[in-house]
Structure 1
Amino acid sequence: MSPGANWQRREVDGQTRLFLLGDWRVARLDGLLKGFDWSREGQACAVVALNELEAGDSATLALLMEWTQAQATKGVALQICGMSQPLQELVALYRLQDMLRICHE
């Protein structure tokens, strides 16, 4: 795992965002998620920021879909910002545009 593979909650323009950092591909997720609890880390977040994500794959998208559904049960429409072109191409390939709210900043 790269030393920066982690997450941070930050305030941006008065909004709490969850920034994913480093490599969140399937090979790295197991160890990383052992220390991550969405209900604690993401509870006040309406935005997941991928601007600082070094790498992601279909496992990353599956995780984002799970978080989107978790927030939807609370009445929160989770937005995903800063998605790289390769991840956007995977979203299109798997036809996930209607499931994931991707913002284009």
Structure 2
Amino acid sequence: MSLAAGWQRREVDGQAQLFLLGDWRVAHLDGLLKRFDWSREGQTCAVIALNELEAGDSATLALLMEWTQVRAAKGVTLQICGMSQPLQDLAALYRLQDMLHICHE
């Protein structure tokens, strides 16, 4: 497993999606978020794709909740797609499935 973390904006079927890459657990988020600017990188995205996320934890879910609330304030429903089963289980433990609008592919 590569622990490098990053992100990529990609067009998928004409829709801007933000792909989270690598390890977005709490131990790595501080440095990562210093480089990430949501208003520039994610503001036009309606989908966050976690297909390439190698690791996530409760800090990852907290960040996804914040981004969901930011988009909801602008009237946009942010979809979270490609979430691993362990992260889905953690979201279920905290009862966040509905708030996060998790896609079940």
Counterpart in the other structure of 2:91: 91
Counterpart in the other structure of 1:73: 73
> How many residues end up aligned between the 2 structures?
104
Deviations 1:63-82 (A, max 9, x none): 00000000001111000000
TM-score normalized by the length of structure 1: 0.96
Q: How does 1:20-99 map to 2 (within 5 A)?
A: 20-99=20-99
- Structure number having the greater helix percentage: 2
> In percent, how many aligned pairs have the same letter?
84
RMSD of aligned alpha carbons: 1.0
Return the letter of the residue paired with 2:30.
D
**Which segments of 5 or more consecutive residues in structure 1 lack a partner in the other structure?**
none
TM-score normalized by the length of structure 2: 0.96
Task: Find the residue that maps to 2:10 and give its secondary structure.
Answer: strand
Task: Find the residue that maps to 2:51 and give its secondary structure.
Answer: coil
Between 1:63-72 and 1:95-104, the stretch displaced more is 95-104
Q: CA deviation at 1:2?
A: 2.6
